[in-house]
Each structure stands twice: as structure tokens, then as C-alpha cells.
Amino acid sequence: MADPTLLDRHLVFVAGKGGAGKSTVTAALALLAARAGKRVLVCEVNAPQPRIAALLGAEGPVDAPGPRELLPGLHALNVLPAAAMHEYGLMVLRFRAVTHAVFENRLIRYFLRAIPSLAELVVLGKILHEARSRGPKGPRWDLVLVDAPATGHAIQLLRVPSALLDAVPAGPLRHDAEWMERLLVDPVQTAVALVTLPEETPVNEAIELDAQVRGVLGMSRAGLFVNAVPATRLAPAEVAALAGARDAPPPLGPAVRAATLASIRAEEARRHVGRLRAALDLPTTLLPLVPSVGWGPRQVEAVAGAIARAWQGGEEAAWTSCWGAG
């Protein structure tokens, strides 16, 4: 069972294979944190179609220029490279007119694109700047959640500061890389939460991602979420007892075949979860497969409820909140 102190971190990157449910888990964690009274910012990274607002049922413009309030205490921001570059330039050059003149120059834009990892640096810098930002009474955000890109791109993004420290001399760029790296590897403030599915390829990728987070990035891991775990509805003896009815006419035959397939899937999922637990020394939350055709606020609510119940009462309690949510 995952540790609920995950939400006590200041900066959490939610990472995993594309399609594993990172956005849903991010949205669910944001809901839980906001309902606990935290000021929450969810960052998406260069998303062509931002998903967090839709998952939380928020209406209005998809891409606001700054953090947009979706729910009380919960804001979202899609960090775009061009906008982050312009903002970074404004911070360095100080004057808006000069910044505009520089970044609208085609020749300068050409050379900027040629600088390795600069786009990733300013995107990550924008996220970390938000994490460090302060208001009149203290930090602007209690928790910044990042819906990170898929595995390879996430590692590339998070590795930029340390790579620059190995490559650039003293100066403003190195100074920025230094404070960014300090924040990323601070285990009190920052961590990575892994999301995967109970299937062979996502499990393999989660194990590899965990190794890179520890070895390449040197970052703390906050926990593992195994998404869409099918419930075990029939014991093996029950499946065997029904075998003779597989070829029966409808509705019995199709129902028995569907139940048998579901039992096989649940057993395979159990095996993959066992392999994850053997390979990763991480607190783990199993999230039930939500039986639903569509996907939106109601389903995110179900997942948030499953996480809360799992943290409070163990894995079995998580299933109670999700089945029947479709």
C-alpha cells in the first residue's frame, strides 16, 4: 500500500509508460490534495490537448497563459516551450520590449533551437520556478504535481540540469542548472511517483524507469500505482466447475466464456503485480479496473476514492469504491 505522505512532498512527478493512466492518477492525487486543504498546481508538459481540465470537469479555455483555477484550491498549467522560453528571456533580459525584439528575431530563434536541451531546460525551469514561487504569506503552492511525459522523454527532461552541469562553464545557465538540480534531488521536497499497468510491457518499463530514476537521476521515488487491476471474481475451482457450460447456448455459454477470460486476466495481472513487488522496494497502490465506457470526472472521482480507501484500509478496500462507478 502506497504511503499517503506522498502528498506531503512539495513537488511530485507522475511518470510511466504512455497509456498507463498517468493523467488520471495525477488528477486523482490533485483532488485528494486539494480536498485536504492544499493549494495545488498540476503541470502538463507541452500537451497538444491538455487533459487535466477535462478529467476534472472544468469548463473554459483549454490553454490559459498562466495557472488556471479548475476547482477551489486546484490550478492547472500547460507548460509550452515557446512561452517558457519567452518568460525565461524576460527574467534574464528584464525588459519586455527587449525580450520581444530578441525572441522575434528569426536568426536568434534559429540559434536558440540549435542549443541542445534548451527547450527542455526552460520547460523544466518553468515548472521548478512555480514550485519555488512565493506569495505574501509563503509558498504559492503547497504541492506541484507534474503529469510527466512518457518514460523516455521524462528521463530526458529530468536529466537536463545534471547534463548541463557536466557541459557548461560558470555563468547564468550553469547557475540555473545548479539550483534546479538541487531541488530535483532533494528527497524532502521532490519525488517521482511511478504509474504502470499489470501487463508485461508496462511492468518491464516501470522496472527500467525505477532504475533510471535511482541511478541516472538520483531522485527519490514516492510510490508505485498499478492501474486498471482486474478483480478476481471466480476462484480456480469455480472456473473449473463451469468449464462444461462454455458451449451452452446464450446467455449461459457466453457468460461462462467471459467469466473464464476475466479469471485468466486477473491471474495474469496478479502474476505481474508479484513481479513488480519483487523487483521494486516501493510502497504500492493497486487501482481497480473501473468498468466504464467513457472517461471523465466521475471516473477520476472513483480512482481518487480507491486511492484514499487503499491508503486508509488496505488494497481490498480500493475495489469497493470503483466497481459500479461506470
Q: Are 116 and 164 in contact (CB under 8 A)?
A: no
Q: How far apart are the first and last CA of the chain?
A: 24
State how far the Cα of 177 lies from the Cα of 307, in Å rounded to an integer. 35
Q: Give, for all 326 residues of the chain, the pLDDT tens digit.
A: 445 589 999 999 999 999 999 999 999 999 999 999 999 999 999 888 889 999 999 876 666 678 999 999 999 999 987 776 666 554 544 434 433 444 454 544 444 454 446 778 888 988 999 999 988 888 999 999 999 999 899 999 999 889 888 877 888 778 888 999 999 999 999 999 999 999 999 999 999 999 999 999 999 999 999 999 998 777 778 878 888 888 889 998 888 888 888 888 889 999 999 999 999 999 999 999 988 877 899 999 999 999 999 888 765 544 444 433 43
Phi, psi of 208 (to 5 degrees): -65, -40
Phi, psi of 183 (to 5 degrees): -70, -40
Question: What does the pLDDT look like over 40-87, one tens digit per residue?
Answer: 999 999 888 889 999 999 876 666 678 999 999 999 999 987 776 666
CATH class of 4-231+282-322: alpha beta
Q: What is the pTM of this model?
A: 0.86
Question: What does the pLDDT look like over 306-317, one tens digit per residue?
Answer: 999 988 876 554
The CA R_g of the chain, rounded to the nearest whole Å, is 22
Q: Where are the domains of the chain?
A: 4-231+282-322
